[in-house]
Amino acid sequence: AQKITQTQPGMFVQEKEAVTLDCTYDTSDQSYGLFWYKQPSSGEMIFLIYQGSYDEQNATEGRYSLNFQKARKSANLVISASQLGDSAMYFCAMREETSYDKVIFGPGTSLSVIP
Amino acid sequence: DTGVSQDPRHKITKRGQNVTFRCDPISEHNRLYWYRQTLGQGPEFLTYFQNEAQLEKSRLLSDRFSAERPKGSFSTLEIQRTEQGDSAMYLCASSFNRGEQFFGPGTRLTVL
């Protein structure tokens, strides 16, 4: 069974608009962490934001925020005020404490920002 | 530059040859990870080290693959008797304990 599901293979958003990228996960661990990474066409993986399973507040980093709904096992990434440079692949990932902290990545969502 | 570095950035080899990749993590990071990424997919975990100890290996890591981190600093990933299915981007990442992982630029392997 897939641990991380990203149901949107491709998304488009108008420049300056907000966009939500979906992520659901599957775990029986009580302690886990959720990450979002950005991968531009150049290939490097760029860390964006982290949410711990025990964190009560949703994580925010500049224009990025993570909408964490623990009961629904979802961890959606919200990008506000989209910029052309946001066009990239976005990967949701999870680290489980019982799996020696290895990180499992989802299949990714391709985001294209339209001028 | 204090980021994660990988060498080489690109490698083209013939089927059956052995290849070795190197990863230099961020200097104060004690954990080092190897991932493989094929086109259109997310990275797949291969193995990871805490200092010089290899703590986990994915079942994706067949007996043709071996990784080392002899002094707890840089790491090497060797693939013996390469196959066309080994063609992928090999990514290295490092972290300090359970902190976020910082990735290197990757080594793109093409097996002809």
- SS3 string, chain A, reads CCCEECCCCEEEEECCCCEEECCEECCCCCCEEEEEEEECCCCCCEEEEEEECCCCCCCEECCEEEEEECCCCEEEEEECCCCHHHCEEEEEEEEEHHHCCCEEECCCEEEEEEC
Which two tokens mark B66?
A: 């071996």
Contacts B40 to A, Cβ<8 Å: 107-108
Q: What is the pLDDT of residue A1?
A: 58
**Hey, is B93 helix, strand or coil?**
strand
Q: Is the pLDDT of residue A102 over 80?
A: no
Q: What would the mean pLDDT of A75-101 be, rounded to a whole number?
A: 91
A105–B43 C-beta distance less than 8 A: yes
Q: What would the mean pLDDT of A72-83 be, rounded to a whole number?
A: 97
Nearest-Cα distance to chain A for B101, in Å, is 7
Which two tokens mark B55?
A: 């703590």
Comparing alpha-carbon positions, the chain A residue that sits nearest to B32 is A102
H/E segment holding residue B85:
none
Q: What is the pLDDT of residue B56?
A: 83
Which two tokens mark A25?
A: 């996960």
Give φ, ψ of A26 to 5 degrees. Answer: -130, 120
- Residues A90-100: tens digit of each pLDDT: 999 998 877 76
Confidence band for B12, pLDDT divided at 50, 70 and 90: very high
Please report, rounded to a whole number, the percentage of residues in chain B having pLDDT higher than 90.
75
Q: What is the pLDDT of residue B2?
A: 77
- Residues A9-45: tens digit of each pLDDT: 999 999 999 999 999 999 988 889 999 999 999 888 9
Q: What is the pLDDT of residue A22?
A: 97
User: B105 CB near a chain A CB, below 8 Å?
Assistant: yes
Contacts A43 to B, Cβ<8 Å: 89, 105-106
Size of chain A, expressed as the number of residues it contains:
115
Give the span between the Cα atoms of B87 and B60, in whole angstroms. Answer: 14
Q: What would the mean pLDDT of A84-89 be, rounded to a whole number?
A: 96
User: B48 CB near a chain A CB, below 8 Å?
Assistant: yes
Nearest to B56 among A4, A35, A102 (CB): A102
H/E segment holding residue B66:
strand B65-68
Nearest-Cα distance to chain A for B52, in Å, is 15
Q: What is the pLDDT of residue B100?
A: 83
Radius of gyration from C-alpha coordinates of chain A: 14
Q: What would the mean pLDDT of B19-47 be, rounded to a whole number?
A: 94
Size of chain B, expressed as the number of residues it contains:
112
- Between the alpha carbon of residue A102 and those of residues B43, B58, B71, the distances in Å are 12, 10, 21
Neighbours of A36 (CB within 10 A): 25
CB-based contacts of A88: which residues, under 8 Å, 6+ apart?
A38, A39, A40, A41, A110, A111
Give φ, ψ of A46 to 5 degrees. Answer: -115, 120
Contacts B94 to A, Cβ<8 Å: none
Residue among B53, B50, B52 nearest B96 (CA): B50
Q: What would the mean pLDDT of B17-27 be, rounded to a whole number?
A: 97
Comparing alpha-carbon positions, the chain B residue that sits nearest to A93 is B42
Q: What b-and-e string marks burial along A74-103, b requiring 16 or more CB atoms within 10 Å of the CB?
A: bbbbbbeebeeebbbbbbbbbbbeebebbb
Q: Is the pLDDT of residue B59 over 80?
A: yes
A100–B43 C-beta distance less than 8 A: no
Nearest to A45 among B31, B56, B91 (CB): B91
Q: Comparing A108-112, B28-32, B94-98, which segment has the lowest mean pLDDT?
A: B94-98
